[in-house]
Structure 1
Amino acid sequence: MATKAKSGNAIVETIKTIVYALLIAGVFRTLFFQPFWIPSGSMKETLLIGDFLFVNKMAYGYSYASCPTVSIPVVGLNVDAEDVCGFLDGDNTRLFGGDPERGDVVVFRHPVSGRDYIKRLVGLPGDRVQVKDGILYLNGKMVPQTPAGNFDEVMGRQGPQGLTPRCGNGPVGEGGTCTKTRAVETFDNGNEHVVLNIGSQASDHTPVYLVPEGHYFFMGDNRDNSADSRLPQAAGGVGFVPYENLIGRADRIMFSSAGRSMLYFWTWRSDRFFKGVN
């Protein structure tokens, strides 16, 4: 009888330990840092497919979007942030709120789909944003770009989704060199970052967007390969993003893998480990 009691107590203690660990992890993920894998090439070269980083949730304070979304289709688990913290939605405010700065790389919740996106903050509330001939204009003034050579990568499937890059040097065969032109863009607050260009397309020529109060305008650094605020939400873009939809700021890459799986250690990019995000 004593053996059975001890065995039963051991099982209970194990379950309690797991529950406590999950609660602690949930609190940590909700209040401090959220892990994020880069799934696409919209932020090249700043962020590459397979980069892994932690999002600083303390940077802008907390809203309903700060609650984690947990989706594990294999076991039928799908808990959305709104399911847990939806009672905080609707007022476009934040607890302990902080203001993001132009040039921040931000993870935010898509206003319609609820999916997490990562882009660079370009337009603040009240700004007039326009792209003309591939050059960004803010409040009627051109944002300076300095040519910085080319960004080269090998043509091939990238990441778990097996995505292939778009190239500015025409059709490129498997294993060939895929090239995009590269420039350093500088905002008026001194933020410098690299942007890439593939070629002229519709998103390089936009109307003037007036960013509403309490909203932000985002663009990808890989300008010709990014569904962002230049496209309205109805057309599959991001549109204007409410303040309450910001999740946090990306500050540092912790790990990076160029392979289909992080277990392929020979594809790890050790030069990107602990690299700051600019």
Structure 2
Amino acid sequence: MGFRDNLLKRITINNLVRTIDRTIGTAESGTKVDKKSMKELLGMSTFVVHRERDMDLYIRPLNDKIHQILVLDNELPLFETSLDDVLLRRDPTLKEMISIRNALKILNDKDVVKFRRKTSLDFLHKDLLKDLDLTFSDEDLESIFNQAVKALADRDRDGIVEAIVLFSEILGYVPAIPAFEIRQHRVWGKSGSDIPGKTVFGPMVIYNPDTNRLVLWVESVEKLDPGAVESLFMEKNEQPSQWIQGPAVFEFLRDKARAQGFVAPMALN
């Protein structure tokens, strides 16, 4: 796969991980893991699904005898042992439970479980990303830029949003935190803080799907300027001089990505 496809794959992986992460609770919480999203995530991995004793097991070999086996339940235990051992410990038959040796195994699986819950998800997340080639060339950036400009000219909302998301993934921009959300608009930007408890946001990409208006605020700010936000709702197409607007937004993002030279590390939050 090329850079664009690999970047889209990372975006998909990261979005699934965020979704699943929000559904993983403690053993006492009773929270149910989002199994649909987990199946989609595992479907992108080298684990092979195997169903036995009413369990969804995801398996890949480590050697002839030992496998990594993830059980798709609310605990998300990741075993390193044999399939028979996992079946015994997770869903033993009456005959298997009669053995004292087996009973001890059933009661304590710490010797074969490597991860549970969030640590299993973290392991799978890193495993999915580790071989993903995210190096890019000027040609890769130019290709995204050209498609973005065409999408803007064609009023192709999906294409515009995809281009913004691709550049945001490279630059480490995130969807706006609540304090910077703007009604009727979609907002992405760089979130950060130099002082504990103080949040700044920017540069900010702001897109209105209804009017096809695309603007960018270059500076990092602690809060939105009411006058600047008001200008977004003006009927005329012109914006105050402090805004970058139209295709120039994609020029800014392309040039920022080129200067950065690498895809920003990903944060779940």
Q: Shared topology, TM-score over 0.5?
A: no
Which TM-score applies when normalising by structure 2? 0.23
Structure with the bigger RCO (C-alpha within 8 Å, sep 6+) is 1
Greater share of residues in strand: 1
Normalising to structure 1: TM-score of the pair?
A: 0.22
Higher helix share: 2
